[in-house]
Amino acid sequence: MRSPQSYSDALEGVTEIIHAASPFNVSPCDNVEHVLAPAKEISSALLEAVQHYEHRVRHVVNILSFAAMVDLSQGLRPGYSYSETDWNLMTYEEAATSSNGPAVYCASKGLVEAKMWHWVFGPSEIPLGKTTPSTSLNKLKALLDASSVPATDFAGFVDVRDVAMVAIKIIEMRDPPARRFLLGDHFDWQTAVDILRDAFPDLHHRIPVGSPGYVQQEPVYSLITGDLRSMLKTSFTSLEKTLQDTFQQFLSAK
């Protein structure tokens, strides 16, 4: 997938492309070989393949995580609001030598997006049980039988169904805007366990209690996502529904 030739057959007849985020790897053995180089090279190879093999492609929707915007060096940034104007500014050189796995992963997201925008504008400018659960799903599942409520690491979430819906809606537009959008809402682990304990009373003995309702005072950054909501004229999945549906799937898979 790191060479344009890898996409020659797959692109035949394609008119729209949704380029999804690369795998979630926060414990790389080699920062460059396992995270940074693949992320940048795969994205560039795809765009080069589109130019070379399939001229009928009209739109490429690039999906990246909040990692492309967050500045981990600032911590949880009480009182700060992230928007589409924010960028992860960690350089390739810094990420290549960093011992902070999550920071390296986040840097790769920002570097990939910057690379793709530069390419576009030019130099002047499966059911559970049949697959391995993602890192995000495993973190949610780890709440079961956890001894305590985890500390907040990333204070935002998005339902994967909303990501898919937004990508399709943008592709279906006659003249989609060539810009970034931030999709998501507030997240913290205390709110998550509060929701789950309320939705699944039979699991009370397996889900930590923590300090119910404490999220209201927790000093973390917020997300500004109004532009996308207004443009699409739609609502997005609540944290309550995301968690309830996800845990119901966990229980059904047993």
Query: Is there a common fold for 1-125 and 126-254?
Result: yes
Return the CA Rg of the chain: 20
Orientation of helix 101-121 relative to helix 37-53, angle to 10°: 20
pLDDT per residue over 174-218, tens digit each?
888 888 888 889 999 999 999 999 999 999 999 999 988 876 556
Is the model's pLDDT at 121 over the cut of 50?
A: no
Q: How buried is 201 (Cβ within 10 angstroms: 0-12 exposed, 13-18 middle, 19+ buried)?
A: exposed
Hey, which CATH number is domain 126-254, 3.40.190.10, 3.40.50.720, 3.40.50.300, 3.40.50.1240?
Answer: 3.40.50.720
Which amino acid, one-letter code, is at 247? F
Residue carrying structure tokens 């443009």: 231
Mean residue pLDDT of the chain comes to 85
Question: What is the homologous superfamily of the domain 1-125 according to CATH?
Answer: NAD(P)-binding Rossmann-like Domain (3.40.50.720)
The domain limits of the chain are 1-125, 126-254
pTM greater than 0.85 (yes/no)? no
Going by C-alpha positions, the residue among 87, 66, 14, 62 that lies closest to residue 170 is 62
